[in-house]
Structure 1
């Protein structure tokens, strides 16, 4: 028993002694694939194009959908986040990684549609270091829907039109 505890302590101290850059950091893409049903490859900025013909895409948030962010000078690889809850037409809660701090996982944080057209093409996202929504809007492509959300949306459309 003592040997196991000592071995665990040594492993922990070794990890803590590593320089921060040597420790593995969870990226947004890996985290989105891990917790969500949308399984795509590439950087966050690539997911929108890579989803074409594989997953339905659109402008309306749904739980389980992935919000795909465009690449910018501040965020050259783009970003992806999984919708955990739709609060109203302009507010959602998301789960994502690597936004407020490198490798940090954030669950149930606010994202707000600030686009003039209400189409989720510009959002502000909760930023941990300031304890508020980010100051600059981030451009997005829209939402990528997992197969289960696509089937639900098709059923809703059929009921409405039928």
Structure 2
């Protein structure tokens, strides 16, 4: 009998390899570079869709940026993401987290700035992070679509909790 394949959610490491494995989008390099690298290769936009990758810009807090995969769209300003290397678990970073609340904090409702649920605070963090937008797993040319991982979202995500966190 073959051993069971490791779960994507058992991953420990950086956000980039995790996002690539979870989304199927084949981009390499620091997270903040994904937006520019996607130009001409994958469709991009400012509307969240399941399986899309949101790209966080470089900032003092995120010198390499960050990438996370949209697992669920809750409403026009609240989504759930599955990502790695954000909150600490058992005192260490790098672990994967599934269905984490992320809210649009931009003044024009265009997802150019977000707040992220943070395990250490057990709620949305207070920091607003600038983002570039969403990379969709749809090639600009006639190539195959990116295939998202089956484990991208849980069986029963906490939609109510996500909305409570977002609108507190």
TM-score, normalisation: structure 1: 0.75
For structure 1, list consecutive stretches of 5 or more residues without a partner in the other structure.
1-23, 152-162
Separation in structure 2 between the aligned mates of residue 147 and residue 57 of structure 1, nearest angstrom: 9
Q: Which has the higher helix share?
A: 1
- Could you tell me which residue of structure 2 aligns to residue 84 of structure 1? 71
The 3-state SS of whatever aligns with 1:146 is: strand
For structure 2, list consecutive stretches of 5 or more residues without a partner in the other structure.
1-10, 143-168
Separation in structure 1 between the aligned mates of residue 103 and residue 12 of structure 2, nearest angstrom: 26
Separation in structure 2 between the aligned mates of residue 75 and residue 137 of structure 1, nearest angstrom: 11
Count the aligned residue pairs.
Answer: 127
Aligned structure 1 segments of 4 or more residues deviating by more than 4 angstroms: none
The 3-state SS of whatever aligns with 1:34 is: helix
- Could you tell me which residue of structure 1 aligns to residue 128 of structure 2? 137
1:104 deviates by 1.5
What do the CA deviations read for 1:10-57 (whole angstroms, capped 9, x no partner)?
xxxxxxxxxxxxxx9510001001111211011110000000000000
- Could you tell me which residue of structure 1 aligns to residue 15 of structure 2? 28
Separation in structure 2 between the aligned mates of residue 84 and residue 25 of structure 1, nearest angstrom: 19
Determine which structure has more spread, i.e. the larger CA radius of gyration: 1
CA RMSD of aligned residues (A): 1.8
TM-score, normalisation: structure 2: 0.72
